[in-house]
Amino acid sequence: MSISKKQTRELVDFAADVAMGAGEILKSGFNRNFRVEYKGRIDPVTEYDLKSERYIVSRIAKEYPRHVVLAEEGSGSGEQAEFRWVIDPLDGTVDYAHGFPVYCVSIGLEYNGEMIAGTVYDPERDELFHAARHQGAFLNKTRIAVSKERVLERALLATGFAYNVATAKRNNLGLFARMVKNAQAVRRLGSAALDLCWLAAGRIDGFWELYLHPWDTAASWVIVEEAGGEITRLNGRPYSIFAPDILTANPKLRRIMQEVLTGAQ
C-alpha cells in the first residue's frame, strides 16, 4: 500500500495544527516559575515538556488511533508500525528553562520506515516550518531553500553539544575547534530542530552534531531535504534518525565540511 501526496499533505496539515497548539502551551509557561527535574546531570525536563507531550499524543490518539508514537518523554510504545509519529514536545529544554527564547515543537511522521513529513513550530517567532515528501519545504506559506554558499570561509555554521559532553571521549569539542578555524563563524543555539530548519531556510549554511536522538531530527530531516539540503553522517554514509552523528548543508558545502570534520583537510 502506498500513500498519496494528498494524504501526506493532510497529515502535515494535522501535524501543523497540533504543533501550534502545543506551542501555545509552551508559550504560556515561558519565563514563568515552573517545576524542573533532571533526567541526568545536566539533562532537564520541565512540566511544560510533559504538558506539551500529553497534548500532542492525545490529539494523535484521537485522530489516528492505529498510529504509534515515539516521543522524548516516553509516551507511546515507539514500536515500528505502518505510521509512526516521532515527537519532541519541547526541543531546547535548557534554553526554555533559562528563559532563553530558542525552543520549538517538533513532529515528524514515518511511513513504513521512511520519514515522509515534518513540522516544526517556533512559538517565540510564530514560525511554522513544514514539509511533505516530494512537495517542497515551507516557512509558514513561503517556500524555502538552503543557501548556495560553496566556500567554507564564508559559511555560517551551527552545532551543539550532547549532555554527555563532560564524559564522552568523542565529545565534539575537537570538531568545533576545527570548524571555528575554517568557517566564517559557528553558532550554538541549543535546539537542533531549529538549527536544521534555519539551515533549510538559508539562515545558516551548514550543521553537524553528535549523539542526537530520533526526535531531535525526524521532522527537520524532511524539511531540510525538501529544501535542497543533503544529510549524511559525518563520514558521508547514509543518515537515519538513529545514527550517532549528522552532517548537513547544500551538497557542495556538505562535502567540504565532511573533509574538514574527518581530517581530510
Among 103-112, 113-122, 160-169, the minimum mean pLDDT is found in 160-169
CA distances to 54, 83, 219, 224 from 78, in Å: 15, 11, 16, 24
Chain mean pLDDT for the chain? 93
Q: Is residue 265 predicted with pLDDT exceeding 60?
A: no
Is the pLDDT higher at 231 or at 41? 231
CB 197 within 8 A of CB 129: yes
Q: pTM of the predicted model, to two decimals?
A: 0.93
Q: What is the DSSP string of the chain?
A: ----HHHHHHHHHHHHHHHHHHHHHHHHHTTS---EEESSSS-EEEHHHHHHHHHHHHHHHHH-TT-EEEETT--S-----SEEEEEEEEE-HHHHHHT-S--EEEEEEEETTEEEEEEEEETTTTEEEEEETTS-EEETTEE--------GGG-EEE----TTTTT-SS-SHHHHHHHHHHSSEEE--S-HHHHHHHHHTTSSSEEEEES--HHHHHHHHHHHHHTT-EEE-TTSPBP-TT-SEEEEESHHHHHHHHHHHTT--
Query: Which amino acid does the sequence have at 185?
Result: A
Q: Is residue 42 predicted with pLDDT exceeding 50?
A: no
CB 148 within 8 A of CB 205: no
How do 185-187 and 44-46 pair as beta strands?
Answer: unpaired
In the chain, the domains with their CATH numbers are 5-143 (3.30.540.10), 152-261 (3.40.190.80)
Is the pLDDT higher at 75 or at 64? 64
